[in-house]
């Protein structure tokens, strides 16, 4: 886990979370290069694990609060390719937090080399009708601490 921008009195591990991913054959095209859509999966996995790191998971949020998170916008810059068997780190940093939406800045790196940079906007919606819903207060407090 990478730690930066430590704020006094808060848990530094909340600021930038890093999730390791190994590139498998299933993630690559015929040339052994990661297929572009696979990066979105890597980004999603890292956000899901960040949520678990905060003490929450998607199934419990759906069951207990009747909400789900949906991606409403993804801006992805592909800078360099990842290849078969690469070990990469996928970072998650919360950039902004509203009542319903939040924006994440994410990067995929092979050691110090930046491969992908993304800005992902996520909205909280009701699980049944997909109407906007406020992020549950307990989760919101944990997320707020990471800003």
Q: How many CB atoms lie within 10 A of CB 128?
A: 9
Active site residue 29: yes
Annotated catalytic residue: which of 29, 57, 77, 85? 29
Question: Annotated catalytic sites, by residue?
Answer: 29
């Amino acid at each position: 886990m990478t730690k930066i921008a430590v704020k006094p009195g808060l848990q530094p591990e909340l600021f930038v979370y890093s999730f390791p991913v190994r590139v498998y054959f299933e993630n690559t095209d015929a040339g052994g290069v990661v297929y572009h859509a696979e990066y979105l999966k890597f980004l999603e996995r890292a956000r899901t694990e960040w949520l678990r790191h905060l003490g929450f998971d998607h199934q419990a949020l759906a069951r207990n609060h009747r909400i789900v998170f949906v991606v409403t916008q993804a801006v992805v810059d592909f800078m360099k390719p990842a290849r078969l068997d690469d070990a990469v780190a996928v970072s998650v940093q919360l950039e902004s937090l509203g009542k319903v939406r939040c924006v994440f800045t994410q990067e995929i790196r092979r050691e110090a080399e930046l491969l992908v940079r993304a800005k992902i906007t996520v909205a909280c919606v009701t699980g049944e009708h997909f109407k906007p819903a406020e992020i549950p207060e307990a989760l919101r407090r944990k997320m707020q601490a990471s800003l």
